[in-house]
Amino acid sequence: GQNIDQPTEMTATEGAIVQINCTYQTSGFNGLFWYQQHAGEAPTFLSYNVLDGLEEKGRFSSFLSRSKGYSYLLLKELQMKDSASYLCAVRDRRGGNKLTFGTGTQLKVEL
Amino acid sequence: NAGVTQTPKFRVLKTGQSMTLLCAQDMNHEYMYWYRQDPGMGLRLIHYSVGEGTTAKGEVPDGYNVSRLKKQNFLLGLESAAPSQTSVYFCASSYSWDRVDQETQYFGPGTRLLVL
């Protein structure tokens, strides 16, 4: 099976930078995805990493280290609308490339 | 395009009742999924389909059945609802599993189910 760990909750200030970490354990790693989910809404895709390094998409960046089983999502210039749950999901080729989701990190952005 | 739609949005059932949740997508995606989301548990895969006429079990399939008679529709059935099935159910679809960039899953708005 897979083990995906994320912090349960984080709080940050509007305009600041926040880093949400995700660690995983799987022998068939084939990609890591980040989704954003606002309360009462569906998850929406943010980014994915297959190779080591940083992927930048506007205010959001995602980093991957396969050797360490570690990823983070970096949110810059935080806005109130960034208050949401951020889900880390791992793709495992042994499981037919299905996604396994972490429990999510609830981010609260304060003034 | 409507993307992924789900019906109903909310339902209350009594223990032992049955119901079917309908998911429809208009993106011509091959792959479709049913998840449940519970507090502290994250999204868990119930069943999935890799194409019309095919279905497979996910992580938590017990108590549920599915059918994919048409490419655009994926139905989730509860034959005899139990309080443990109170949850938020999300349907999702993706283009394929051939490449990571095609794996992006698009989610429907969810169905909130309460079983009394």
A37-68 pLDDT, tens digit per residue, is 999 999 999 999 999 999 998 999 999 999 99
Put simply, the answer to whether A48 touches B104 (Cβ < 8 Å) is: yes
Residues from chain A that touch B4, judged by Cβ atoms under 8 A, are: 42
- pLDDT given for residue A2 in this prediction: 64
The residue-averaged pLDDT of B48-60 equals 94
Of A78, A75, A45, A49, give the one whose Cα is nearest residue A63: A49
- pLDDT given for residue B40 in this prediction: 83
Q: Is the pLDDT of residue A1 over 60?
A: no
- pLDDT given for residue B42 in this prediction: 87
Distance from CA of A2 to the nearest CA of B (A): 11
Distance from CA of A110 to the nearest CA of B (A): 23
pLDDT bin (cut points 50, 70, 90) of residue B96 is confident
Distance from CA of B17 to the nearest CA of A (A): 25
Q: Given the structure tokens 């990609």, which residue do they identify?
A: A31
Put simply, the answer to whether A45 touches B105 (Cβ < 8 Å) is: yes
- pLDDT given for residue A93 in this prediction: 79
Of A27, A3, A31, give the one whose Cα is nearest residue A103: A3
* Distance between start and end Cα atoms, chain A: 40
A45: nearest CB among B48, B104, B108: B104
The two three-digit tokens of residue B40, written as one number: 């502290």
The residue-averaged pLDDT of B107-114 equals 97
Q: Is the pLDDT of residue B41 over 90?
A: no
Of A46, A57, A39, give the one whose Cα is nearest residue A22: A46
Of A84, A83, A89, give the one whose Cα is nearest residue A103: A89
The residue-averaged pLDDT of B70-93 equals 97
In the three-class reduction of DSSP (H, G, I as helix; E, B as strand; rest coil), residue A19 is classed as strand
* CB pairs A-B closer than 8 Å: 51
B42: nearest CB among A41, A45, A103: A103
Phi, then psi, of B101 in degrees rounded to 5: -70, -15
Phi, then psi, of A52 in degrees rounded to 5: -60, 145
**Long-range own/partner contacts, residues B30-33 (CB < 8 A, 24 or more apart):** B30/B71, B30/B94, B30/B95, B30/B96, B31/B93, B31/B94, B31/B95, B31/B96, B31/B97, B32/B68, B32/B74, B32/B91, B32/B92, B32/B93, B33/B58, B33/B74, B33/B91, B33/B92, B33/B93, B33/B94, B33/B105
- pLDDT given for residue B100 in this prediction: 66
**pLDDT digits over A62-97, tens only?**
999 999 999 999 999 999 999 999 999 998 877 667
Interface test with B, best of A36, A99, A100, A106 (most B CBs within 10 A): A99
Decide which of B34 and A27 is more confident.
B34
The answer to whether B13 touches B113, Cβ cutoff 8 Å, is yes
